[in-house]
Structure 1
Amino acid sequence: MLPRLEISFDGREPVADMFEKTRAAAENGASTVWLASHLFEQDPVSSAAVMLERFPSLDMVLMAISPLVLHPVQIAMSAATLDEMFPGRISVCLGVGSPDDLGSAGIDAGKPLQAMKEALALCRALLSGDKVTLEGQRFVVSGRALRSGNHPVPLLMAASGPKMLELARSEADGVLLSAATSREFIKSTIARLHAGKPARAAFDNCGLVYVSVDDDRAAARDRLRSKLAVTLRGAHHAANLDAAGSKLDQAALRDAFTVGRISEAAHIVPDQVVLNHSAAGTPAELPAMIQTYRDAGLDRVILSAFGSVAEIETAMKAMKTTERLSDEV
Structure 2
Amino acid sequence: MTRLGAIFRPQLPPERLRTIARLADSTGLDELWLWEDCFREAGISAAAAALAWTERVRVGVGLLPVPLRNVALTAMEAATLHRMFPDRVTLGVGHGVQDWMGQVGARAASPLTLLREYTLALRGLLNGERITTEGRYVTLDDVALDWPPRGGAEVLVGGIGPRTLRLSGEVADGTVLNEVFSPDGVREARRIIEEGRAAAGRDAGSAHRIVVYLFTATGVDASARLQRELTGAGLTGVPGLGVAGDAAEVADTVQRFADAGADTVVLLPTADEPDPEGFIRFVGDDVRPLVK
> TM-score, structure 1 length as denominator?
0.80
For 1:39 and 1:193, locate their aligned partners in 2 and report how far apart those are by CA, in whole Å: 28
For 2:230 and 2:105, locate their aligned partners in 1 and report how far apart those are by CA, in whole Å: 27
| Displacement of 1:302 | 0.9
Q: Deviations over 1:24-70 (max 9, x none)?
A: 22221112222111121111211111111111101222211121111
Structure 2 residue identity aligned to 1:280: A
Q: Deviations over 1:258-303 (max 9, x none)?
A: xxxxxxxxxxxxxxx6x73101112331111211111222111111
> Which ranges in structure 2 are unaligned for 5 or more consecutive residues?
none
| Displacement of 1:116 | 0.6
Contact (CA 8 Å) 1:92, 1:153: kept in 2 or not?
no
Q: 2:280 aligns with which of 312, 316, 324?
A: 312
Q: Tell me whether 1:283 sits opposite 2:251 in the alignment.
A: no
Q: Deviations over 1:153-207 (max 9, x none)?
A: 2100001222211111121111111113222222222223224544552211111
Contact (CA 8 Å) 2:56, 2:88: kept in 1 or not?
no
Structure 2 match to 1:292: 256
For 1:197 and 1:155, locate their aligned partners in 2 and report how far apart those are by CA, in whole Å: 15
SS in 2 for 1:276: coil
Structure 1 residue identity aligned to 2:215: Y
Residues 1:182 and 1:137: Cα distance change in structure 2 (over 3 Å): same
Structure 2 match to 1:211: 216
Contact (CA 8 Å) 2:25, 2:55: kept in 1 or not?
no
Q: Tell me whether 1:57 sits opposite 2:56 in the alignment.
A: yes
Residues 1:36 and 1:196: Cα distance change in structure 2 (over 3 Å): closer
Structure 2 match to 1:24: 23
For 2:217 and 2:38, locate their aligned partners in 1 and report how far apart those are by CA, in whole Å: 26
Contact (CA 8 Å) 2:21, 2:53: kept in 1 or not?
no
Q: Deviations over 1:94-149 (max 9, x none)?
A: 10011121122222221011101110111111112221101100111111211224
For 2:63 and 2:119, locate their aligned partners in 1 and report how far apart those are by CA, in whole Å: 13
Structure 1 match to 2:192: 192
Report 1:129-278 matches (<5 A).
129-151=128-150, 152-195=152-195, 197-198=197-198, 201-214=206-219, 216=220, 219-232=221-234, 247=237, 276-278=240-242
Contact (CA 8 Å) 1:7, 1:34: kept in 2 or not?
yes
Contact (CA 8 Å) 1:287, 1:318: kept in 2 or not?
no
For 1:190 and 1:277, locate their aligned partners in 2 and report how far apart those are by CA, in whole Å: 17
Query: When the two structures are aligned, how many residues end up with a matched partner?
Result: 282
Structure 2 match to 1:111: 110
For 1:20 and 1:87, locate their aligned partners in 2 and report how far apart those are by CA, in whole Å: 22
- Using CA pairs under 8 Å that are at least 6 residues apart, name the structure with larger relative contact order, 1 or 2: 2
Q: Tell me whether 1:35 sits opposite 2:37 in the alignment.
A: no
Contact (CA 8 Å) 2:6, 2:283: kept in 1 or not?
no
For 2:192 and 2:148, locate their aligned partners in 1 and report how far apart those are by CA, in whole Å: 36
Residues 1:187 and 1:150: Cα distance change in structure 2 (over 3 Å): closer
SS in 2 for 1:68: helix
Q: Percent of pairs identical after alignment?
A: 26
> TM-score, structure 2 length as denominator?
0.89
Q: CA RMSD in A?
A: 2.0
For 1:321 and 1:178, locate their aligned partners in 2 and report how far apart those are by CA, in whole Å: 24
Q: If each structure's helix is expressed as a fraction of its own residues, which one has the higher value?
A: 1
Structure 2 residue identity aligned to 1:212: A
